[in-house]
Amino acid sequence: MTQQQQQTWSQRFETSLHPAIAVFNASIPFDIQLIEYDLTGSQAHARMLAKCGIISSQEGEKLVTALEQIRQEYRQGEFNPGIDAEDVHFAVEHRLVEIIGDIGKKLHTARSRNDQVGTDTRLYLRDQIQQIRQQLREFQQVLLKIAENNLETFIPGYTHLQRAQPVSLAHHLLAYLEMTQRDWERLGDVLKRVNISPLGCGALAGTTFPIDRHYTAELLGFADVYKNSLDGVSDRDFAIEFLGAASLIMVHLSRLSEEIIFWASQEFSFVTLKDSCATGSSIMPQKKNPDVPELVRGKTGRVFGHLQAMLVIMKGLPLAYNKDLQEDKEGLFDAVNTVKSCLQAMTILMAEGLEFSTQRLNSAVDEDYSNATDVADYLAAKGVPFREAYNLVGKVVRTCLAGGKLLKDLTLEEWRELHPAFDEDIYQAISPKQVVAARNSFGGTGFTQVKQAILAAHSIVNS
Ligand code: ARG
């Protein structure tokens, strides 16, 4: 076989590619992942060509059947195109011609690899988004279950990583459920822009053949078609949007990871890691390391990087297709795989890899000054202006700190010396349970609120 027969481009070329340039140019090592979508897209294209009378219906059927054969060959590991195929689109076309001869050469009528690769990438991403949304649901179900079991487990709530006010552990975890719910919704929104068909935009300007773009779109389950062929072949906004949504998922997983890492430290001891999700040190026998959340936190960087890379690829790209666009795939694939593996690992970690030390958590909120706001609120409720009450309590905390006492250790006489408005009920008002229960404003940590949030979460995560 001469080089000219091997290469799919026209006879315009006299000599073959430099071998190193062939490798440099090829996308087959990574775009082979798109093969099933490429085959499905080509089958729709073949059906459309037949329906529009551009090829005969027998030819259409032969193409569809041969493409299905390639799918089976690929699944059975019998189709392994090498670097000389350049990309998955050429690889499939070569094999098609091997199987059905000249009819195979008709498939590319009224199509270009430019609209083809855009179609494949969208079909791939559509599938992946659906899978990631499902994984987000599973993660949320695990969070919800822990929340339900821990309505009355308390955890110090922090601002500036300083103890601020105690909260229900359920409330804390439900914050992550809210974040991931936004992720789920955001992906649904991205999906709207992913699910538009560029097929039939041709190389850039459309085609001279009487094609039916709406028909291929319908066969492939696209909700609409691109309205401008130049935009259709060169738009990668949908990939950027996905990478943005993926980055936010990673932000949320990484924030939770960070919390778990310090909760698991000896200093906090709020959780213990189960052996199934922790690792040891090669030198320090006492160590148990939180590798899972650390890896999730670490992997966040590469997803952000892929978003940045894609933005830079697009910036300054003239219309329409440019080979730069081949660079969209590896980052996208890696972002998809990273998000999926992190979601899976975090779901397992939360479901069975962590044990919340409820005793330690509940005693943690009983040995600090995080009920100070409630003393001020107590006085304010009795008519003392809040700012005045706030200043007074600040003074009390200072005195307590100096005397090594907690607020609950003060006697009623001591309270009364500070302000005559204090009564027996101050002790109840500053107990952690009451401190949490009292924050009953909408969206607060009060039990009534959290119970309602749990109910609302049920209808979301089981939808
Ligand atoms: N492998 C190419 C890509 O991933 C397919 C499109 C090639 N188009 C072209 N005009 N060279 O973008």
The CATH number of the domain holding residue 308 is 1.20.200.10
Q: Which residues are catalytic?
A: 160, 281
Mean pLDDT of the chain: 95
If asked whether residues 311 and 193 sit together in one domain, one would say yes
* pLDDT above 90 (res 6): no
If asked whether residues 228 and 304 sit together in one domain, one would say yes
Q: Which atom of ligand 1 lies at the shortest distance from residue 27's CA?
A: 1
Structural domain includes residue 329: yes
* pLDDT above 90 (res 270): yes
Q: Determine the Cα angle at 379 with ends 446 and 437, to 5°.
A: 10
If asked whether residues 351 and 390 sit together in one domain, one would say no
If asked whether residues 245 and 323 sit together in one domain, one would say yes
* pLDDT above 90 (res 280): no
* pLDDT above 50 (res 258): yes
Taking only the tens place, the pLDDT of each residue in 386-425 is: 999 999 999 999 999 999 999 999 999 999 999 999 999 9
If asked whether residues 200 and 290 sit together in one domain, one would say yes
Structural domain includes residue 406: yes
If asked whether residues 351 and 383 sit together in one domain, one would say no
Task: Report the pLDDT value the prediction gives residue 1, as an integer from 0 to 100.
Answer: 36
Range 32-38 average pLDDT: 98
The CATH number of the domain holding residue 62 is 1.10.275.10
The whole-model pTM stands at: 0.95
Range 362-386 average pLDDT: 94
Last residue of a domain, one of 60, 86, 109: 109
> What is the Å distance from ligand 1's center to 117 Cα?
7
Query: How do 271-273 and 224-225 pair as beta strands?
Result: unpaired
If asked whether residues 102 and 195 sit together in one domain, one would say no
Q: Is 303 within 8 Å of 337 (Cβ atoms)?
A: no
Last residue of a domain, one of 325, 358, 391: 358
If asked whether residues 417 and 305 sit together in one domain, one would say no
If asked whether residues 120 and 249 sit together in one domain, one would say yes
Helices and strands (DSSP H and E) totals, the chain: 20, 6
Confidence of residue 11 (pLDDT cuts 50, 70, 90): confident
Rg (CA), the chain: 31
> What is the Å distance from ligand 1's center to 441 Cα?
56
As for how many domains the chain has, the answer is 3
Taking only the tens place, the pLDDT of each residue in 223-255 is: 999 999 999 999 999 999 999 999 999 999 999
> What is the Å distance from ligand 1's center to 88 Cα?
10
Structural domain includes residue 155: no
Task: Report the pLDDT value the prediction gives residue 278, as an integer from 0 to 100.
Answer: 87
Q: Which atom of ligand 1 lies at the shortest distance from residue 87's CA?
A: 1
Which residue range(s) make up the domain with 80?
A: 3-109
Task: Report the pLDDT value the prediction gives residue 7, as an integer from 0 to 100.
Answer: 63
> What is the Å distance from ligand 1's center to 331 Cα?
16
* pLDDT above 80 (res 55): yes
Task: Report the pLDDT value the prediction gives residue 2, as an integer from 0 to 100.
Answer: 40
Ligand 1 binding pocket (C-beta < 6 A) is: 27, 31, 87, 113-114, 117, 321, 323, 325-326
Structural domain includes residue 364: no
Structural domain includes residue 164: no
* pLDDT above 70 (res 8): no
Task: Report the pLDDT value the prediction gives residue 14, as an integer from 0 to 100.
Answer: 86
Per residue in 214-243, is it b (16+ CB within 10 Å) or e — as a string?
Answer: ebbbebbebeebbeebeebbbbbebbbbbb
Q: Which of 68, 51, 69 is nearest to 60 (CA)?
A: 51
If asked whether residues 204 and 241 sit together in one domain, one would say yes
- The more confidently predicted of residues 288 and 189 is 189
If asked whether residues 197 and 314 sit together in one domain, one would say yes
- Residue to mutate, 24, 313, 314, 323, ligand 1, most ligand atoms under 8 Å from C-beta: 323
Range 195-211 average pLDDT: 98
**Helix ranges restricted to H, 79-212:** 88-100, 113-149, 169-194
Structural domain includes residue 98: yes
* pLDDT above 60 (res 166): yes
If asked whether residues 343 and 393 sit together in one domain, one would say no
Distance set, CA 212 to CA 200, 216, 273, 355, 450 (Å): 8, 7, 58, 58, 54
Q: Which of 413, 375, 406, 436 is nearest to 155 (CA)?
A: 436
Q: Which atom of ligand 1 lies at the shortest distance from residue 113's CA?
A: 6
Determine which residue's CA is closest to atom 2 belonging to ligand 1.
326
Structural domain includes residue 366: no
> What is the Å distance from ligand 1's center to 113 Cα?
6
Structural domain includes residue 33: yes
Poorest-confidence range of 10-14, 154-158, 216-220, 317-321?
A: 10-14
The CATH number of the domain holding residue 379 is 1.10.40.30
Taking only the tens place, the pLDDT of each residue in 419-459 is: 999 999 999 999 999 999 999 999 999 999 999 999 999 99
Q: What percent of the chain has pLDDT over 70?
A: 98
Q: Which atom of ligand 1 lies at the shortest distance from residue 321's CA?
A: 10
Range 30-59 average pLDDT: 98
Task: Report the pLDDT value the prediction gives residue 284, as an integer from 0 to 100.
Answer: 81
